[in-house]
Amino acid sequence: MSDQNLNLKMHDAKTLAAGYHSWWRYVEIFSIFAFFTLIALIVRRTWSVSEGRGFLIASAFMTGYVMADFISGFVHWLADTWGSTKLPLIGPGLIRPFREHHVDPKAMTRHDAIETNGNNCLISLWVGCICIFMPLDVEGYQSLLIFIMVALGSMIFWVMMTNQFHKWSHLEAHELPGFIRFLQRAHLILPVGHHDVHHTAPFDKYYCITTGWLNWPLTKIGFFKTLEKLVTMTTGIIPRADDIGLDAAIKVAPVVVEPQAQPEPNATRS
Ligand SMILES: [Zn+2]
Ligand SMILES: [Zn+2]
């Protein structure tokens, strides 16, 4: 279905960009500082139990890499699909950047390191605390607990890197160092062309933005479509109504819905 047939009603890019408040920037700065403190403590804790466990730690690290791609897709799907920029706290802070990104994909390439990485540091803090405080010395379960700690620690590290990988995928080749282009071509981080699939209206697939490895299998099994069906059938909420407007959202919803039964989302429209 073309954009015209869908009758997209997106937010206004300037209003979205103006929604980045200075108080949120302080939250982001604190989050980045706290995040790297936690990562340093996790590395120290891992080092203290690493003797004779090289393979276990390497496999946990790789597991965390794959988990991060899944989490990036799941959080991206949540923020793209549900909620509104008008929600208290998470609206302007966490949901607004996702709306802005669909209206103006290049906007994130103009964001500095704090605005790019602050949000992902914030949402990772509680997992970092689990890694620091979870017990490791339980008789018979040491290897499993160490695996879980390293996998979670690796996962939040790659989750933190996700917006950076995402931002690089929106830059032109000549703007990137050769090493980053090599990582993109090797598909070790999100490649450029691969991510274009998500930026095609109605923005309803290929949500994973760390490496993008899970996009194909999750689309193949209809993972996010099935979740959307379940949410709409149990709550009646239409996916993407705040992102692309109610009319377009109803047209592409995975379950048939009655247009008149839906309240117009409370959002500023262009
Ligand atoms: Zn998106
Ligand atoms: Zn993007």
| Residue 3 reports pLDDT greater than 80 | no
Banded model confidence at residue 269, pLDDT cuts 50, 70, 90? very low
C-alpha to C-alpha distance for 126 and 264, rounded to whole angstroms:
35
Distance 47 CA to ligand 1 centre (A): 37
Distance 209 CA to ligand 1 centre (A): 9
Number of residues that this document lists for the chain: 270
Structure token pair of residue 252: 């592409």
Distance 168 CA to ligand 2 centre (A): 9
In 92-201, beta strands by DSSP E: none
| Residue 124 reports pLDDT greater than 50 | yes
DSSP element (H, E) containing 97: helix 96-103
Distance 101 CA to ligand 2 centre (A): 6
pTM of the model: 0.83
More reliable by pLDDT, 267 or 155: 155
Ligand nearest to the CA of 10: 1
Distance 156 CA to ligand 1 centre (A): 20
pLDDT tens-digit profile of 243-259? Answer: 888 888 888 888 876 65
Distance 226 CA to ligand 2 centre (A): 23
Distance 13 CA to ligand 2 centre (A): 15
C-alpha to C-alpha distance for 75 and 83, rounded to whole angstroms:
12
Q: Of 52, 1, 23, 24, whose CA–CA distance to 202 is shortest?
A: 1
